């Protein structure tokens, strides 16, 4: 699908529209104690009863410092009070990117997170369903605003959280470079003003050797804690989503998911279902 929004225009939309999101955010900094997490064999994907009681308090996301240089301005909500909103979302949260965000004194909203993998995944809350005639597209750009990946996104059967993954045949993210991403929704193909979007910046980094070694020898729940402790948002979220997909009735994992999203002030999305954990 060819987007109506050209690469340079996408960048300008983000720069000018990010001022409409007025959210006050205090970064949540916590240091989880990895030793307190369950040591059971997570191959069976079961948690002990005592672990379930304390799991939601065991881990919180340790938000890293915004990198120096141009602000990673973006937009975490697709429909703001003074911006366009697609029909069909009157009683639902707006289109939302599941990613940390913070507002600067000059009203610029930073939407930024770190990954350690070449082909990461993004998660979005989408309030629109497949019965609506909307065009949805995910776009990834390099530091020069060149599109390096585009994908038409099929709307789900019901409102909820979807996953968009960068496929292995797409260009890999280079270390220490920033990339800009967008998810756009075109409510009316005849009117560009009906296009709403979320967008932000992702940067691939390397973990410290000690954390990397621990990741290679531990079970998924502890891997999630290591990622969260080291401020690696994308792998923390993806790991926890995969655990929930394999354990859909596990109340402890649901509580941990809600705790993670609430820690970045996305409380209204925390209880929304994950529609499909498949890439």
* Domain segments of the chain as ranges: 7-269
Beta-strand pair 121-126/147-152: unpaired
Q: What's residue 125's pLDDT?
A: 96
Q: What is the mean pLDDT of the chain?
A: 79
pLDDT tens by residue, 111-135: 999 999 999 999 999 999 999 999 9
Map 153-201 to HEC letters.
CCCCCCCEEEEEECCCCCCCCCECCEEEEEEEEECCCCCHHHEEEEEEE
pLDDT of 92: 76
CA gap 97, 81 in Å, rounded: 17
Residue 34 has pLDDT above 60, yes or no: no
Domain 7-269: CATH class, spelled out: mainly beta
pLDDT of residue 54: 44
Average pLDDT over residues 236-247: 94
Q: How confident is the model at residue 172 (pLDDT cuts 50, 70, 90)?
A: very high
Burial class (CB in 10 A: 0-12, 13-18, 19+), 164: middle
pLDDT at 227 over 90: yes
Q: What percent of the chain has pLDDT over 90?
A: 58
pLDDT at 56 over 80: no
Residue 137, pLDDT score: 97
The radius of gyration computed from the CA coordinates of the chain, to the nearest angstrom, equals 18
User: What is the per-residue pLDDT across 206-216, written as a single tens digit (0 to 9) for each?
Assistant: 998 999 999 98
């Amino acid at each position: 699908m060819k987007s109506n929004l050209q690469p340079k225009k996408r960048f300008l939309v983000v720069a000018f529209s990010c001022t409409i999101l007025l959210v006050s955010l205090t970064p949540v900094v916590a240091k989880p104690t990895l030793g307190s997490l369950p040591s059971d064999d997570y191959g069976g994907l079961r948690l002990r009863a005592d672990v379930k009681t304390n799991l939601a308090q065991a881990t919180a996301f340790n938000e890293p410092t915004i990198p120096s240089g141009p602000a990673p301005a973006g937009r975490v909500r697709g429909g703001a009070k003074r911006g366009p909103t697609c029909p069909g979302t009157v009683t639902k949260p707006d289109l939302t990117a599941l990613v940390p965000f913070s507002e600067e004194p000059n009203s610029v909203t930073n939407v930024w997170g770190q990954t350690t993998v070449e082909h990461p995944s993004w998660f979005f809350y989408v309030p629109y369903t497949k019965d609506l005639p909307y065009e949805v597209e995910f776009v990834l750009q390099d530091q020069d605003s060149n599109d390096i990946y585009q994908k038409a996104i099929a709307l789900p059967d019901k409102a909820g959280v979807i996953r968009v993954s960068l496929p292995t045949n797409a260009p890999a993210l280079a270390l220490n470079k920033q990339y800009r991403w967008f998810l756009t929704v075109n409510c009316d193909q005849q009117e560009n003003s009906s296009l709403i979007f979320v967008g932000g910046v992702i940067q691939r980094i390397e973990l410290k050797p000690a954390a990397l070694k621990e990741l290679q020898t531990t079970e998924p729940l502890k891997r999630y804690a290591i990622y969260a402790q080291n401020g690696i948002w994308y792998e923390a979220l993806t790991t926890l989503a995969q655990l929930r997909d394999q354990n859909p009735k596990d109340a402890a994992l649901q509580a941990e998911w809600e705790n993670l999203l609430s820690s970045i002030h996305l409380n209204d999305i925390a209880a929304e279902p994950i529609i499909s954990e498949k890439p």
